[in-house]
Amino acid sequence: MIKISKKEAKEVAYWLKLLKEMNKNEEDKIETLIKEANEIRRILS
Taking Cα atoms as reference points, which of 32, 30, 10 lies closest to residue 21?
30
pLDDT band, very low/low/confident/very high, at 2 (cuts 50, 70, 90): confident
- Is 43:6 a contact under the CB 8 Å cutoff? no
Contact partners, residue 33, CB within 8 Å, separation at least 6: 16
Residue-wise pLDDT tens digits, 16-37: 999 999 998 999 999 999 999 9
pLDDT band, very low/low/confident/very high, at 1 (cuts 50, 70, 90): confident
- Is the pTM higher than 0.85? The answer reads no
Cα–Cα distance for residue pair 8/16, rounded to 1 Å = 12
pLDDT band, very low/low/confident/very high, at 42 (cuts 50, 70, 90): very high
